[in-house]
Structure 1
Amino acid sequence: MRRVVSLYLPTWPTDRIRRRFGAPPPDEPLVTVITEGSRRLIGAVDRAARALGLRAGQTIAHAQALVPNLHIVDATPEEDRASLNELARWCIGYSPIVAPNPPDGIWIDIAGAAHLFGGEEKLVAHLVRRLTTQGIQAMASVADAPGTAWAVARYGHQALVSPGRAIDAIAGLPVAALRLSAETVDGLHRLGVERIGQLAAMPRAPMVRRFGKDVALRLDQAFGQVFEPLNPLLPKETPLRRVGFTEPIGRLEDLAAVVQRLAQLLCHDLTRSALGIRRLDLIFERVDRRSVALRVGTAKATRDAKHLAKLFDERLQTVDPGFGIEAAILIASKVEPLSDKQVEAAELGSDGASGVDLSRLVDRLGARLGPKHVYRLAPVESRLPERSMQRIPALAPMTGLTWPDGLPRPTRLLDPPESVTATALLPDHPPAFFIWRRVRHRVVRADGPERITGEWWLSDKERSSLRDYYRVENEQGARFWLFRDAPADQGGRWWLHGVFA
């Protein structure tokens, strides 16, 4: 199913100026000026200027009378559009199907890439957060159709429009959300039509006679009833291979053969430039002008065409060919230097291999589960058990750190520790029994305490932190790792931090 992000940049011209020149400060109003005949008008306003009542189309003389300390810069629409294209290239990091939507937006089809970020909502939040930290005001919405996402991103309050709920999401929005001309919007207002739902309730024939076919087209596009194609932005310098078919194809076997062929051609191209693939995008162009995109990544740079093609095997089953696929494009959207290496015979083992290469296994698992779910744990220098490890990429180099051999630790660590009810017969002794998750455990064997203090150099709160850990065993032979967060005479509470195998 198609899912499109509409990225809205309400103050793009002024944000671009601030990023380029580093001034003025964000709290000082800034506008751009355009010239129409003998009049100088506001072309764009930033957030501070908008808060002071300034709007695009006002004369500069009027604006300066309202805001004496106004910063004014000549508008450069060509530079704004070129920079928007560059930003769209940057957005290819989220999906291979990206199209600029001048003057203040970008469309991103994320149907085949959202899982790499943990879902649509997390992808949108990550995108907006990254732009905001770079000084770019941004809002975004996801929907089935570009028109729906465009309307909600600018006039709604939803980051995510559920599949099939386009009508419900935009029926209450103003008619300006349909991307109509100002004259058409004014005509609808004079007729008393303020909301999209009101427009949709009008008889179609009289509406078309009075306002033209564009109104009906935009309404159908916003409801997702008419397909609206996106023209993907493909940077010229990006390595890619494209193949067209005289007759549309659709069988899974044919799609797999095409991917294998394109991978071989693309890897051959990259051999000459000594590059390897880290991210690969596959786009199928259907005869109805719909595009289907898939994305895979690799743990390290590679030019193994057979391995790269196999990464798409499971994903190809999700492709809907419709009435047929007329072209396929394979794009190496992320590459790294990769030089051929000579392996000396002395380094080879009896099996002809110099070592175990796990990169292919990591790539296959990443394609199936998502890259973020394939990792390994590495030691971290910390006294507290929950801080003594971190997730790192599966093939990251060894850090040189190890966990101490003389400190037994449970195979399963609970983070955060879970509170338990426990009773000790004597102060500073292990508990005689404890209750965890409504189950009572009688302790028959115990060892401890092992005292762990807080990391006082991190914060003042850590100075008073103290834990006494005990390894205990119940009647059934299960072993647990308990601690008390203060001495018994100070009212310390008991916690379960781990379970031994």
Structure 2
Amino acid sequence: MFGGANRRVVSLWFPRLPSDRVLRARPVEGPFALTLQQDNTNRIFCLNAEAEARGLYRSMGFSDARAFCPELQSRSADQIADQEFLTRIRRWATRYCPWVGLEGRDGLVMDITGSAHLAGGEEMLRDDLRDRLSRIGLAVRIGIADTRGAAWALARHGEGVARPGHALDKIGPLSVAALRLDSGTVTSLQRLGLNSIRQLAEAPRAPLARRFGPGLMMRLDQATGAQPEQVSPQSDPPHYGVRMSLPEPIGLTSDVMEGTNRLLIRLCDKLKQQQTGARVLCLTLRRVDQQALHLTLRLARPLREPARILSLFARDVADLDAGYGIDQLRLEATQVEALASEQISHVGSDRRDRIDDLITRIGTRIGLENVQRFLPADSHVPERSFTLAPAAYTSPAGAWVRTRPRPLVMFPPESISASGASPPHKFRWRRMSFTTMRTTGPERIMPEWWRQDEGWSNGIRDYWRIETREGRRLWMFYTPQNPGWFVQGEFA
């Protein structure tokens, strides 16, 4: 939506949003600050009014702040939680108008054109906004004008309401910093004697445009209404939750599974529309005594196939205690991932599905992170030729390419009593005696010189494949620099 003659915009600025959010949940008395690690220094990120009254300010070193104010209480900042909180406020603000968007990390912008009369006028809308936000512990400054730029300037530098068609009269006395300019441009303008927006508006435009570029004039025109500026409402993210209320309580496992199946069909339709798949599902069963049973299913792969997901719920549903009956079921995909449509093939797909379902079943008991797989790594050193990764979050990396065979079982090198560079004819290992029958080798492996590895302190290793008369096939190596023999693996 672009500006017009009757357009009205509200700008909301929350000067202490992070600290207000934390203090709403856990109030404290006295000065309080949130800290954030910046440039290897713990600095103040946000603070309450009491801390500001003590002379503390943002970006101040936390150690200096504690020296000035020993009773200062603090917690660590959480910028992700702050953004989520601001998003919830944005959703709440749609009660006043449908056009509400985010303004940076600490503000909102609302296009109330044609909506103010529903609240009794702009002044009553402003007062209602302030009262409701203050009741939940949020400090807010509000600006109302014809343009987004003028409303932003009033909220952050003056606060008030500009009469329609007279935005410059209201914002004219404000500093040029109210035009959303960078600090370098503001300093340069002030050195030229242009301290206020009115002085800037009355100055010749051509010399300013040549010196500062078109961005300065664009910000001035946006604030005065000479150039339109869009207010784009933020759409709510898709909600992947479905619910079913039952006229009569149920308690049989088959009934609960049937209800879950119907919810899965509806939920998977939503997932398919958004080209996503569920990774974590939460099934909530409300009993008639108002107690809730929660079943969480973490999937090894994103899924949106009701039949496959339902079978994975079967074990947990069979073990639940329905009490006097369940009268409501709710299913929500709490974590989703992109899942594009795929061409269905009969080659190998069923096998992959069974493996993923097996990983899910085992992961439900011991945790998905504890089900791991070996992946090849780009290293010629045996100990570094593979990595361990959670099977649920990785895919098989294809065939292992090795020019020489590697043992199925590998362990840290174990010393044996033997001498000479040739494989020993007889030796003892793990309190057992062995006689060499056949040898293959040597395969010389050099250490990776760019790594500091104590295990390879002896340098070069000559690896041999030893077949013994006792039936054991061992992987052994000899170290020429510090003569010695070691067993490091065993072939199948």
TM-score (norm 1): 0.51
Structure 1's unaligned 5+ residue stretches are 1-7, 58-71, 89-234
**Kept after mapping to 1: 8 A contact 2:36/2:42:** no
Structure 1 pair 261/47, CA: closer, same or farther in 2 (3 Å)?
A: farther
Give the whole-Å Cα distance in 1 for the aligned partners of 2:378 and 2:288.
58
Is the contact between residue 286 and residue 327 of structure 2 (CA under 8 Å) also seen in structure 1? Answer: yes
Matched residues in 1 for 2:72 and 2:392: separation?
51
**Number of residue equivalences:** 308
- 1:244-259 mapped onto 2 (5 Å cutoff): 244-259=245-260
Quickly say closer, same or farther: Cα 1:463–1:474, change in 2 above 3 A: closer
Alpha-carbon distance in structure 1 between the residues aligned to 2:87 and 2:424: 61
Q: Secondary structure of the residue that 2:449 maps to in structure 1? A: coil
Change (3 A) 1:318 1:492: farther
2:477 is aligned with 1:500 = no
For 1:108-141, what per-residue CA distance to the aligned partner results, in whole angstroms no more than 9, with x for missing partners?
xxxxxxxxxxxxxxxxxxxxxxxxxxxxxxxxxx
Instruction: Kindly indicate whether the alpha-carbon contact (under 8 Å) linking 1:29 and 1:49 is maintained by their aligned counterparts in 2.
Output: no
Whether the 8 Å contact between 1:287 and 1:326 is mirrored in structure 2 is: yes
Q: 1:477 — aligned with what?
A: 471
Q: Which amino acid aligns with 2:257?
A: A
* From 48, 51, 62, the counterpart of 1:33: 48
Matching of residue 422 in structure 1 with residue 417 in structure 2: yes
Aligned-residue offset at 1:407: 0.8
Contact 1:365 1:374 in 2 (8 A): no
8 Å contact 1:422–1:494 — kept in the other structure?
yes
Say whether residues 1:444 and 2:437 are aligned partners: yes
Offset, 1:29: 6.5
Structure 1 residues 472 and 400, CA, compared in 2 at 3 Å: closer, same or farther?
closer
Change (3 A) 1:368 1:400: closer
Q: Does residue 356 of the first structure (1) align with residue 354 of the second (2)? A: no
The whole-number CA distance in structure 1 between the counterparts of 2:302 and 2:265 is: 15
List aligned pairs for 1:446-461, cutoff 5 A: 446-459=439-452
1:398 Cα shift? 6.3
- Contact 1:283–1:328 (Cα < 8 Å) also in 2: yes
* Other-structure match for 1:432: 425
SS in 1 for 2:427: strand
Query: Does the CA-based 8 Å contact 1:30-1:48 persist in structure 2?
Result: no
Shift of residue 250, structure 1, vs aligned partner: 3.2
CA contact (8 A) 1:283 1:294 kept: yes
Residues 297 and 366 in structure 1, CA contact (< 8 A), matched pair in contact too: no
Residue 379 of structure 1 corresponds to: 376
Q: Aligned equivalents of 2:459 and 2:399: distance in 1?
A: 25
**CA deviation after TM superposition for structure 1 residue 81, in Å:** 8.3
Q: TM-score, normalised by structure 2?
A: 0.51
| CA distance in 2 between partners of 1:389 and 1:80 (Å) | 35
Aligned pairs for 1:50-65 (under 5 A) are: 52=67, 54-56=70-72
Q: What SS is found at the alignment partner of 1:423?
A: coil
Partner Cα distance (1:49, 1:291) in 2: 49
Structure 2 residues not aligned, in runs of 5+: 1-24, 89-235
1:240 aligns with 2:241: yes
TM superposition shift of 1:320: 3.3
2:273 match:
272
Secondary structure at 1:317 match in 2: helix
Which whole-Å CA distance do the structure 1 matches of 2:57 and 2:324 have between them? 45
- How far does residue 41 in structure 1 lie from its aligned partner after superposition? 10
**5 Å matches for 1:186-201?**
none
Aligned equivalents of 2:300, 2:404: Cα separation in 1: 33
Partner Cα separation in structure 1 for residue 465 and residue 343 of structure 2: 53
Q: Pick from 398, 401, 404: which aligns with 1:403?
A: 401
Aligned-partner SS, 1:295? strand
Q: Deviations over 1:302-361 (max 9, x none)?
A: 321111111111222343334443322211122234444566xxxx7xxxx254344422
1:242 Cα offset (Å): 1.3
Structure whose CA Rg is larger:
2
Q: SS where residue 307 of structure 1 aligns?
A: helix
